[in-house]
Structure 1
Amino acid sequence: ELASELVKNAADPVQTLVDVGLGDRIDNFPAQLSGGEQQRVAIARAVAKNPKILLCDEPTGALDYHTGKQVLRILQDMSRKRGATVVIVTHNSAIAPIADRGIRMHDARVKSIETNEHPMDIEELEW
């Protein structure tokens, strides 16, 4: 029954690929995609299942600026519209203003935890 629940709650795979900007690459094999495109496929695969929690390690690392913002928008929608918890691990501190909470680490130790009462809109984000 668990598998049927996952399928029932899953997003449309074609729409999810369109959301990450890969609607025109649906019929391509992984070897035919760039590293950034492969990263977006991985993100699409993760969000398509409507998980309760997403753990993202450098989700914009191999992406250009505009595609990176598009991916961040999708991740933020997972949180805001679908109620998922999204954890983004990144070295890009410019992304921090979009977060509800920022945890800064140094030498494997928590240096600070900051709550952001008014997260920045991704459209305004620059890096």
Structure 2
Amino acid sequence: MSRKSAFYTVRIDPEERALLEKVAARAGYRSLSAFLLAAAREKAQLIENDDVLSAMEERMAATFGRVMQMIQTVNDGVQVNVSQVHYLAQAFFTCVPQPPPEAVDAAIDQAKIRHARWQEAVAADVEGKPGA
């Protein structure tokens, strides 16, 4: 089966044709027809690639949606942990009696010492020192 080329007629204003011929010659095309055919092929390629890009954009959007769901799940977990600590502290303070007034100052001093040791341990842990 032989393939025959199809011929198309394009109407172009003389000024526009002169501009297109000048651009085609500068771009290295052997004729205006070759330039127009290359432009048509490029446009067709862009349209076909647009379908590929649209599919890729849809996949990316779905991925971002899943990431947002994961972040929300982590956020919910953090909220649950904060709530648990809140209720644990509330139960602790409800069930543990207050120290007698004469023991408060000594308890505060001991708490300050424990807190200072804890801060040093946290700082050493952040720095990655062994045995912290």
TM range (shorter): under 0.3
TM-score, length basis structure 2: 0.19
Relative contact order higher in (CA < 8 Å, ≥ 6 apart): 1
TM-score, length basis structure 1: 0.20
Report which of the two structures shows the higher radius of gyration computed on alpha carbons: 2
Question: Which is richer in strand?
Answer: 1
